[in-house]
Amino acid sequence: MADETHDPVMARITAAIEQGHAGDRAGARAGLETIWQEVGADGDPFHRVVLAHFAADVQDDPTAELAWDRRALAAAEEVTDERAQQYHASLAVAGFYPSLHLNLADVHRRLGDLAAARHHLAAARERLPDLPDDGYGAMIRAGFERVSALVEAGDTAVAGS
């Protein structure tokens, strides 16, 4: 099993993610954008999917968040299980899709595009069986239920507002 110490780009991505989790969203955003520029739109798809997925989470503008979520989904289409498992043996690309589609559904919901939100919820629903039966899988399943209920209610509000 590989780890981030053997992948300096992933080590930098992880550090930026941790910076965001510690509350420095602007710093995380700047760090991830810098790494994106270095990796490039045609760089390693595993780096791009992870980077874009987390860059979306630290955006203040939902339109920018949508752009990053779309980049993450596009990069996932190029990642192989073998590449993902070079980073961690437990990873399977199929398990990425429920979260990627859930994020797209939620940002489309907040942007008022409920039809697009429903489309991505349907795609996420199809992929829920690909989630592991662990804390991560439970978190994504709970998020799916929450966003589904909000879309069903026509709620386009940002959480906490």
Task: Collect all residues with Cβ–Cβ distance below 8 Å to 160 and sequence separation of at least 6.
Answer: none
The span from the first CA to the last CA of the chain, in angstroms, equals: 42
Instruction: Specify the 3-state DSSP secondary structure of 79.
Output: coil
With a CB cutoff of 8 Å and minimum separation 6, the contacts of 13 are 32, 35, 47, 50, 51, 54
Rg for the chain (alpha carbons), in Å?
15
CA pair distance 145, 126, nearest whole angstrom: 14
**Dihedral Cα 52, 55, 60, 63, nearest 10 deg:** -10
- pTM reported for the whole predicted model: 0.92
Q: Domain locations in the chain? A: 1-89, 92-161
**pLDDT tens, the chain, 161 aa long:** 344 448 999 999 999 999 999 999 999 999 999 999 999 999 999 999 999 999 999 999 999 999 999 999 999 999 999 999 999 988 999 999 999 999 999 999 999 999 999 999 999 999 999 999 999 999 999 999 999 999 999 999 986 54
Residues 6+ apart with CB under 8 A from 159: none
